[in-house]
Amino acid sequence: MAATAKGAPARGARLSLRPRKTRAANLAFYIVRRILWMIPVVLFVISITFVLMHLAPGSPWDRTGGRPLSKAVIDDLNVKYGLDKPLWNQFLLYVWNVAHFDFGLSYQYQNQTAAHVLLESWPATLTIGALAFVLIVPLGVALGVIAALRQNSVIDYIAVGFSTFGASVPNFVIGILLIIVFSVEAYHLTGGSLFLPTGGFAVDEHLILPVITLSVLPVAYIARMARSSTLDVLRQDYVRTAWAKGLRERLVVLRHIVKNSLIPVVSTLGSIFALMVTGSVIVETVFAIPGIGRSFVVAVSSRDYPMILATTILFSVVIAVANLIIDLLYTVIDPRVRLG
Amino acid sequence: MAAAVTDRVQEIDWENPEQVGLWKDAWQRFRRNPIAVLGLALVAVIVLAAIGARVVFAFHLPILRDYLQQDPANADLGLFSPGHILGSDELGRDILSRMLYGAGISLTIGVLTQCIYLVIGAAVGLTAGYCGGRLDNLLMRFVDVWYAFPDLLFLLVVVSVFGASLFTIFVAIGMIYWVDLARLIRGQVLSIKEKEYVEGARAAGSSPLKIILRHLAPNALGPVIVAVTFGIPRAIFLEATLSFLGAGIVPPTPSWGVMIQQGYESIFSHPMEVTLPAVSIAITMLSFTFIGDGLRDSLDPRMRR
Amino acid sequence: MDGTRGTLKSLPITAVLSITALLAAACGSTNTSSNGGMAPNAQQILRTNSATEPNSFDPGQMTYDYENLIGRNVFETLLKPKPDLTDVEGAAASSYDVSSDGLTYTFHLRPNARWSDGQPLRAQDFLYGYQRLLDPSLAAGYVDPFFDTTIAGGANYGNIDPKNTAAVQSFIQGLGLSAPDDHTFVIKLAQPAGYFKWVAALSAGAPIRKDLVGSRYTSWASNPAGIVSNGMFKISEEVPKDHVTLVPNPYYWGPKPHIQKWNDYFIADANQAFSKYQTGELDALQVPLGTQDAVNADPKLKSQQHRYLSLGIFYLTPNLQVSPFNNVHVREAIAHAIDRDTLVNSVAKGQYVARQTYIPQGMIGYTPSLGSAQNYDPAKGKAALQASGLPTSAYDKIKLLTRATSTNQLINQYLLNQINLNLGVHWTLDVVDSKTVTDRIRKGNFQIYGPDGWGADYPDEQDFFDVYTTGACHGLNWGCPNNKTYDDIVGKGDAALKQSDRQRYYDQAAKMMEDQYWVAFLYNRYDVTLVKPYVQGITSTAIDESNYLPGDFNTNSIYIATH
């Protein structure tokens, strides 16, 4: 009974009796396999993106406004950037370069490499993403667990209400409404604005609105998940018994509850992460933040192929790495899970 | 001996699996959930309003102003203005009419994307689960890889390639999320495959495929319905996002996303023009989510008495 | 004014200021209300927003208006436009001579002109700048005014293979450019061109220091804060995606700017920029259409709002190579179908002005009387359709190709509605993303396209009329009238040296465009800009980038008043 109260069932005990060398070797093998697996994924992503982009009519030199370029200049530009070569040639060349971490020159920002542009945009996206991520896990889990512990009370309804709302309302709607309230209306009332969206990047109170907007959806998802998994845990007999026994027992079992509710939450962190990556595209557009998401939207409309490809690859790799880390984390948290 | 077994086997009603009372029971539980009922009611109102509006527009009935009719001299009227109960936009078009028309577009996209999503997801999931082995492996790997592709990015690129017609958008949206359904159905098929009655049916000479399909329906239908119900607001959201980013439905067709994008430009001058469609999208998505939650709770076998 | 001889002096600042007063009457756009005199140097900081970061700080590779804003203040070319745009005046060159046959331009550079690192400005710097600009391997965006029927030897630019170094070198050496001594720069033209003085004023024709370029032929300006320049400002820092800062060039020969620090920001989101103007973080800002009502509703903002002329014209372009737009009556019908006044007053909220002629107000050649042919008259429009003799099916279901930009959305929808309503047809909008649109109009894959237009590169009629020559079909114009008579007339106008002769030819060309309804003229845009009242001394010309900074051609007169 005591062993199960600690949450480690028999099977877990058996795993820990395995010789450590084999376990470490397993782990290493697993990591290597996963990393190797990223290569075909990246290749697939590149191929699809490459094909799609070149299917799109309009070359990078077609001006969207302002003075059109003369044909002579366009021909020369195509030569300069290697666009006069046949497509398959360009594709192979591109893959070869990527293998050497060369993502080519951006077409929009002449003479800057795509990698360089990404590096410049990276801090903004990373800061907001990291802030949001650090916020959402404790907030979401706390919200879900508390709601489950106080099921059917006012707190539960509020929490469920908030998380349903957050999961349903589009993030750009939230962003726009926040802007209206804190900038537009505040301007009418006071002549100034509160929490202006940031222009030019700095870590200051201007980040509050974008971080909130980015966090709402993931917090909602996590809260819902934490709540239902906590409810499941609470249903178990030993937990009910311990809970009934009184405050001291409750504290002991609370740790167990939280830990067990975390497990399914961690398993979805991968898709939460992917959600935030795409969410950043919208948040950056609404709040005009010079990050990677926004530069991607601009790159697509400008047919800046190197930027588009580089950003897509970056996103895919980041998501794949995040998934790997989360899977590893998952095995640490839940010893019942086997790698593979 | 064999004949007797066969007779015995044939007596058992394979056609009608056990959970006959599932739907009735689910409906009872659903009805008792006030939030779910609220969601259902809201959706019903929206659907009726959208259909009604289309009828009015089609027959040019004088109940609503034409959603395309411009009147620049009376542009940007506020709420409760004479002749325009929700005001008018920058070209003097009636906002109420545009909102109702947009409701139709959102709903259409929401529902039609699910059809694509169902077809592809079911096909892949069924094939993977039923065939198993190498094909299953390959398909699941493909699913994993497809998952790695960031969805909004894929959408943006596809729409810029193929143009932003209604058709392209819902094919593109449907093509992204079928992976969830495929996994779901595959899981169901796999678990059914191992059940005794399939073995029994095979022994009796029935095609296991037919049995699987028969048993798949009630088992999987619940989760599939829930998935589809949650898929509708997700599709609506994606269309609105695309239009907001300028890559979606093209004007003058007034989808809610287009209205938000247009209204966003004059957010300082006339905030209501962006607020109204934004709130409408929120309410629609919320309602479907309420329904989805309610359905999931009521179809959940663990919670049955 | 004659263009055969241009002896120009540098104007002292008092003359500049009196021209400002003259312009105040002419254009009605100067700031005259403020508290007091000039603020101390520490407060002479100007903050503008050009919304987009320049793709390049290399003047040879700059093409967009937001790049030229920086380019013309950081680099100085041979000549620059006079504030009233009637002629050019000396900039880096104190004077220039034109040979009697109009083929040789000799520029006399100022002996006291220096680079921002103190080195003297020499003719060889201009030679290198021009040679590099005309190098096909550079693929400079703004090079065509320099080789297209102008500089001798340049006509072959499009045929040189940029990868063939030998061919490139021989092409460059064969151009009509030379620097006989340190202060004389000579350009030989292939044929007489009365407008060439304006080409010499374009910021693409900036001098470049060969010793500083070295091996970084295309990328020497990739670190903008370090570049050496010869204009009245130099770049002191550039924060990517944020702003660029200009400070006065201590070695500039001319009147030093009062502004000690000029921060140009790249805030792309119009609403965000508007917020920053209100909180006092920006000194000048374009008023986007969506914000116009908010500005009009606020008395303080309304008083800070100015409308500046800009040299451009917007129109609908039918494709004259396809039916039904090869029929002049159908084209005429479109011109009569659009209520321009409602468009500019209600839809564009006064940011536009209705126009029915090609040459814009503010430069020589503006002739509004020519536009009476394109008036709003739905009855005439319908009658014109009848007169075309075509069956209804030929013009009933046309697709109007438009760009999917937010500025255009409302205008497009209005135009479509007008045409359908007033002509009784059933056209639809073909809204496509900008890149694809450019691709399609280049290939002639459209029926009618717009609104689009032409903005002046420089205030000379040649710049406008050359657009509709046959050679520019699918390049600069999309309708392709391909009319030999027109080509001849315009050619004569370009080559003539006396302004009065040129005007005669261009008037004929303008009349031809109007009579044949090659395009349906719509409107021109004002630059509607908010300017803080303490920004004074603006010398505004119609060719400024007034939507970013009014008076940016004469930035040295601007100062911050005490406030």
Q: Stretch A292-308: mean pLDDT, rounded?
A: 81
Q: And the tokens for B256?
A: 């809610």
What is the rounded average pLDDT for all residues in chain A? 76
CA distances from B286 to A155, A157, A181, B241, B293 (A): 20, 15, 21, 16, 10
Contacting residues of A for C139, CB less than 8 Å apart: 73, 76-77, 79-80
Is-contact C185 C110, C-beta < 8 A?
no
Is A65's pLDDT higher than 70?
A: no
* Predicted pLDDT at B304: 45
Is B21's pLDDT higher than 70?
A: no
At position C527, the amino acid (one-letter code) is D
Q: Measure A180 CA to nearest chain B CA, in Å.
A: 7
Q: Measure A209 CA to nearest chain B CA, in Å.
A: 17
Q: And the tokens for B91?
A: 């070209």
Is A77's pLDDT higher than 60?
A: yes
- Angle at Cα C65 formed by Cα C298 and Cα C266, nearest 5°? 60
Sheet holding C5-6, edge to edge: C5-6, C93-98, C104-109, C184-188, C177-181
Is B46's pLDDT higher than 90?
A: yes
* Predicted pLDDT at C9: 38
Contacting residues of B for C270, CB less than 8 Å apart: 265
Highest mean pLDDT among B52-61, B229-238, B269-278, C379-388: C379-388
User: Hey, which residues 272-291 in chain C have their CB within 8 Å of chain A?
Assistant: 272-273, 275-276, 278-279
Tell me, yes or no, if A177 comes closer than 8 A to chain B by beta carbon. yes
Residues with Cβ within 8 Å of A137's Cβ and at least 6 positions away in sequence, in order, are A222, A265, A269
Of C294, C416, C433, the CB nearest to B269: C294
- Cβ separation A297–B245 shorter than 8 A: yes
Residues with Cβ within 8 Å of A163's Cβ and at least 6 positions away in sequence, in order, are A143, A144, A219, A220, A221, A223, A224, A227
User: Hey, which residues 59-88 in chain B have their CB within 8 Å of chain A?
Assistant: none
Count of all residues that appear for chain C in the document: 563
Q: Which of B1-5, B236-240, C68-72 has the lowest mean pLDDT?
A: B1-5
Tell me, yes or no, if B293 comes closer than 8 A to chain A by beta carbon. yes
Q: Read off the pTM.
A: 0.81
Say which residue, A241 or B57, is predicted with more confidence. B57
Around Cβ C301, how many Cβ atoms within 10 Å? 17
Residues A234, A241: Cα–Cα separation, whole Å: 10
Contacting residues of C for A69, CB less than 8 Å apart: 63, 141
Chains that touch A (3 or more CB pairs under 8 A): B, C
Is-contact C481 C468, C-beta < 8 A?
yes
- Cβ separation C271–B70 shorter than 8 A: no
Contacting residues of A for C137, CB less than 8 Å apart: 76, 80
| DSSP letter for each residue of A162-203 | HHHHHHHS-HHHHHHHHHIIIIIIHHHHHSS-SSPPPSS--S
Tell me, yes or no, if C401 comes closer than 8 A to chain B by beta carbon. no
Q: Which of A181-195, B236-250, C196-210 has the lowest mean pLDDT?
A: A181-195
Contacting residues of A for C163, CB less than 8 Å apart: 79
| Helix/strand/coil (H/E/C) assignment for every residue in B83-148 | CECCCECCCCCEHHHHHHHHHHHHHHHHHHHHHHHHHHHHHHHHHHHHHCHHHHHHHHHHHHHHHH
Residue spans of alpha helices (H) in C424-482: 434-442, 461-465
What values do phi and psi take at C320, rounded to 5? -70, -5
Q: Measure C13 CA to nearest chain A CA, in Å.
A: 33
Q: And the tokens for C45?
A: 């900081």
Is-contact C393 C406, C-beta < 8 A?
no
* Predicted pLDDT at A3: 32
Residues with Cβ within 8 Å of C27's Cβ and at least 6 positions away in sequence, in order, are C308, C309, C362, C540, C542
Around Cβ C105, how many Cβ atoms within 10 Å? 25
Residues with Cβ within 8 Å of C43's Cβ and at least 6 positions away in sequence, in order, are C560, C562
- The string of pLDDT tens digits covering residues B128-170 is 877 777 887 777 777 777 776 767 777 777 777 777 777 888 7
Is A15's pLDDT higher than 80?
A: no
| Long-range Cβ contacts of C161-164 (<8 Å, 24+ apart) | C161/A79, C161/C136, C162/A76, C162/A79, C162/A80, C162/C136, C162/C137, C163/A79, C163/C137
Of B161, B247, B281, the CB nearest to A170: B281
- Cβ separation A300–B157 shorter than 8 A: yes
- Cβ separation B278–A187 shorter than 8 A: no
Q: Measure B18 CA to nearest chain C CA, in Å.
A: 55
Residues A219, A265: Cα–Cα separation, whole Å: 11
Is-contact C284 C272, C-beta < 8 A?
no
Is B2's pLDDT higher than 80?
A: no
Residues C175, C313: Cα–Cα separation, whole Å: 34
Q: Chain C interface, mutation test: which of A67, A74, A307, most C Cβ atoms within 10 Å?
A: A67
Nearest-10 Cα torsion for C511, C403, A75, C134: 60
Contacting residues of A for C219, CB less than 8 Å apart: 111
- The string of pLDDT tens digits covering residues A141-164 is 888 888 888 877 888 888 888 888
- Cβ separation A164–B157 shorter than 8 A: no
> Roughly what angle, to the nearest 10 degrees, separates helices A114-149 and A154-168?
150
Is B258's pLDDT higher than 50?
A: yes
Give the three-state DSSP class for C305.
strand
The CA-to-CA distance between both ends of chain B, in Å, stands at 41
- The string of pLDDT tens digits covering residues A201-222 is 666 667 788 888 899 988 988 8
Residues C451, C433: Cα–Cα separation, whole Å: 14
Residues A51, A48: Cα–Cα separation, whole Å: 5
| ipTM of predicted assembly, 2 dp | 0.76
Give the three-state DSSP class for C367.
coil
Count of all residues that appear for chain A in the document: 340
Q: Chain A interface, mutation test: which of C149, C168, C245, C272, most A Cβ atoms within 10 Å?
A: C272
Nearest to C203 by CA among C81, C79, C77, C108: C77
Is-contact A52 B161, C-beta < 8 A?
yes
From the number of C-beta atoms within 10 Å of its C-beta (0-12, 13-18, 19+), residue B256 rates as buried
Residues C103, C116: Cα–Cα separation, whole Å: 33
Chains that touch B (3 or more CB pairs under 8 A): A, C
Residues C530, C282: Cα–Cα separation, whole Å: 10
| DSSP letter for each residue of B46-71 | HHHHHHHHHHHHHTT-TTS--TT---
- Cβ separation B252–C293 shorter than 8 A: no
Of B70, B76, B250, the CB nearest to C417: B70
Q: Which residues pair with residue C98 across a beta bridge?
A: C105
Nearest to C223 by CA among C73, C56, C374: C56
Say which residue, B9 or A319, is predicted with more confidence. A319
Count of pairs with CB atoms under 8 A, one residue in B, one in C: 68
* Predicted pLDDT at C27: 40
Residues with Cβ within 8 Å of B75's Cβ and at least 6 positions away in sequence, in order, are B88, B89, B90, B91, B92, C346, C347
- The string of pLDDT tens digits covering residues B55-92 is 998 888 888 888 888 888 888 888 888 888 888 888 88
* Predicted pLDDT at C201: 94
Q: Across the 563 residues of chain C, what is the mean pLDDT of every consecutive 10-residue run?
A: 35 41 40 65 93 88 90 94 91 94 94 94 95 91 88 89 90 94 94 92 94 88 89 91 91 93 88 81 90 89 92 94 93 95 92 93 88 91 92 91 79 92 91 81 91 91 93 90 95 90 93 93 94 93 91 92 88
Q: Chain A interface, mutation test: which of C168, C265, C269, most A Cβ atoms within 10 Å?
A: C269
Reported as a pLDDT band with limits 50, 70 and 90, residue A333 is low
Q: Which residues pair with residue C332 across a beta bridge?
A: none
Q: Stretch A165-170: mean pLDDT, rounded?
A: 80
Residues with Cβ within 8 Å of A55's Cβ and at least 6 positions away in sequence, in order, are B161, B162
Q: Which residue has the tokens 């911050």?
A: C560
Q: Stretch A24-50: mean pLDDT, rounded?
A: 81
Of A66, A80, A301, the CB nearest to C139: A80
Q: What sign results for the dihedral spanned by CA atoms C169, C172, C173, C179?
A: negative
Is A200's pLDDT higher than 60?
A: no
- Cβ separation B264–A55 shorter than 8 A: no
Tell me, yes or no, if C436 comes closer than 8 A to chain A by beta carbon. yes
User: Hey, which residues 165-194 in chain C have their CB within 8 Å of chain A?
Assistant: none
Residues B212, B190: Cα–Cα separation, whole Å: 10
- Closest residue in B to C415 (Cα) is B70
Residues A313, A48: Cα–Cα separation, whole Å: 11
Is B11's pLDDT higher than 60?
A: no
Is-contact C144 A72, C-beta < 8 A?
yes
Contacting residues of B for A308, CB less than 8 Å apart: 157
* Predicted pLDDT at B302: 59
Residues A337, A12: Cα–Cα separation, whole Å: 9
Residues with Cβ within 8 Å of A24's Cβ and at least 6 positions away in sequence, in order, are none
Is A10's pLDDT higher than 70?
A: no
Q: What is the DSSP letter of C296?
A: H
Is-contact C204 C132, C-beta < 8 A?
no
Contacting residues of A for C56, CB less than 8 Å apart: 110-111
